[in-house]
């Protein structure tokens, strides 16, 4: 549910609002890809698009309520978006003996990063002691 007051929401049918949100998300992704290639930026186009979207949201050019429906739906199916990468990874599991050490190193890095992120988040979100 949106934290924005009702007067800031668009009065569109749900499908139209969802399509608008998806179109904006895809538009910013395409704009980021185009700018990254045109300007030969050292950033991926998707990251450039997210930065542009963040700027547009911060300046009030785009309202969060315009994107919420599509963004919530995409987050709901996020796990499915990783299926192709997982299938591709499992095709190479037979080479696991040669990659065993590398997989352990990556797993250790993943766990260490997740642990440090969790500690930072818990300290950051902890209420201040008076």
Calpha distance 84→39 (Å, rounded): 30
Calpha distance 14→114 (Å, rounded): 37
Co-location of 8 and 61 in the same domain: yes
Its pTM stands at: 0.58
Neighbours of 59 (CB within 10 A): 8
Co-location of 110 and 99 in the same domain: yes
Asked whether the beta carbons of 15 and 73 are under 8 A apart, the reply is no
Whether 2 shows a pLDDT value over 60: the answer reads no
Q: pLDDT: is 86 or 3 the higher one?
A: 86
Element (H, E) at 122: helix 96-125
Calpha distance 99→101 (Å, rounded): 6
Mean pLDDT of 107-128: 86
Calpha distance 38→16 (Å, rounded): 32
How do residues 36-63 score in pLDDT, each as one tens digit? 999 998 888 989 999 999 999 999 999 9
Co-location of 27 and 65 in the same domain: yes
* Owning domain of residue 21: 1-81
Terminal alpha carbon distance of the chain: 33
Q: What is the mean pLDDT of the chain?
A: 83
How do residues 65-84 score in pLDDT, each as one tens digit? 999 999 999 888 887 777 77
Asked whether the beta carbons of 108 and 115 are under 8 A apart, the reply is no
Co-location of 71 and 89 in the same domain: no
């Amino acid at each position: 549910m949106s934290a924005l007051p009702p007067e800031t929401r668009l009065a569109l049918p749900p499908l139209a609002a969802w399509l608008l949100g998806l179109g904006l998300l895809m538009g910013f992704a395409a704009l980021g890809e185009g700018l990254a290639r045109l300007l030969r930026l050292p950033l991926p186009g998707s990251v450039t698009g997210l930065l542009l979207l963040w700027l547009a949201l911060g300046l009030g050019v785009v309202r969060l309520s315009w994107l919420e429906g599509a963004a919530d739906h995409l987050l709901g199916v996020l796990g499915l978006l990783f299926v192709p990468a997982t299938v591709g990874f499992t095709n190479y599991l037979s080479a696991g003996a040669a990659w065993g050490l590398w997989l352990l190193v990556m797993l250790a890095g993943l766990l260490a990063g997740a642990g440090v992120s969790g500690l930072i988040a818990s300290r950051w979100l902890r209420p201040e002691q008076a």
